[in-house]
Amino acid sequence: MVLVAGGQLQHVWRDGSFVWQNGPRFGSNIVLSGPTLVQGTLGTPRGNLECVAVRNDGTMQHFWRDEPTVTWNDGPVFGVGVGSPPVMIQGQYGMSDETGPPGNFELCVAVGGEVQHWWRYNAGEMAWRKSAQFGHDVQAVAGLCEGSWYMNLEVIVLRTDQQLQHYWRDPVGWHEGPVIGPA
C-alpha cells in the first residue's frame, strides 16, 4: 500500500512474472499510511486485504479489499488527533482454530505522546474500540506482534528521544518494558 499524490492510497502488487503492477487508487484525504496491510481470514477464498490509514482531519479510516470482486471498500472512520501511522495485525483472540472464527484486528498508534490500543472483534459486530492508552514520550509505533508467550501483544515504539522502547500486554494490562537502544 502506497500513499500517492492527491491523498489517496494505491495498491501495488507483483504478478507471477515478478513484474510490479500499479493497482487501483482508493480513499481520499489520506495524509499518513504505514505498516498496516494485513491479509486477514475474513472473506473467501483467501481472505480480504485490510488496511488503516490516517486522514487529514486526524482520524483513522479502515479500508478492505473484497477478494471475489477485487475491489477496495471504505470502512469506518475512528479515532481523533492521530498524527503518526498506525500499525495493525490480526491476532488470535477470538479464534477457535485455524479455520475460525476470525481473530481480532489489533492496532496501536501514537497519539499525544502516548500509545493508543484499538481492536475490532471480527467474529461479531466488527466495531473499532479503543481499549487502552499507555506509555510516555512516544513519537510513533514501530512494530506490533502477538507473541507465543501467553499470546501477549508486544509493541516497539520510537520515543521522542529517538530511542526504541518495548511495551507488552498480558491479562493484567499494558506494561512498560526496557529501552532497547537508539533507532
Per-residue pLDDT of 125-166, as tens digits, reads: 999 999 999 999 999 999 999 987 778 999 999 999 999 999
Q: Is the peptide bond before 45 cis (omega within 30 degrees of 0)?
A: yes
Q: Which three cell numbers stand for residue 83?
A: 498524527
The answer to whether the CB of 66 falls within 8 A of the CB of 36 is no
The confidence band for 62, taking pLDDT boundaries of 50, 70 and 90, is very high
The confidence band for 47, taking pLDDT boundaries of 50, 70 and 90, is confident
Rounded to an integer, what distance in angstroms lies between the CA atom of residue 65 and that of residue 13?
13
Q: Per DSSP, which regions of the chain are E strands?
A: 2-4, 8-14, 20-26, 30-33, 38-39, 49-55, 60-66, 71-78, 87-90, 105-111, 114-120, 128-134, 138-146, 153-159, 163-170, 173-182
Q: What CATH number does the domain containing 130 carry?
A: 2.120.10.70
Does 42 have pLDDT greater than 90?
Answer: no
Answering whether pTM is above 0.85, one says yes
Q: Which domain holds residue 16?
A: 2-182
3-state secondary structure of 57: coil
Flag the least confident range among 30-34, 38-42, 112-116.
38-42
**Mean pLDDT, to the nearest integer, of 18-46?**
87
110/95: higher pLDDT: 110
Does 71 have pLDDT greater than 80?
Answer: yes
Q: What pairs with residue 19 in β-bridges? A: none
The answer to whether the CB of 95 falls within 8 A of the CB of 103 is yes
Domain tally for the chain? Answer: 1
> Which pLDDT score, from 0 to 100, does residue 48 have?
87
Rounded to an integer, what distance in angstroms lies between the CA atom of residue 112 and that of residue 168?
19
> Which pLDDT score, from 0 to 100, does residue 100 have?
72
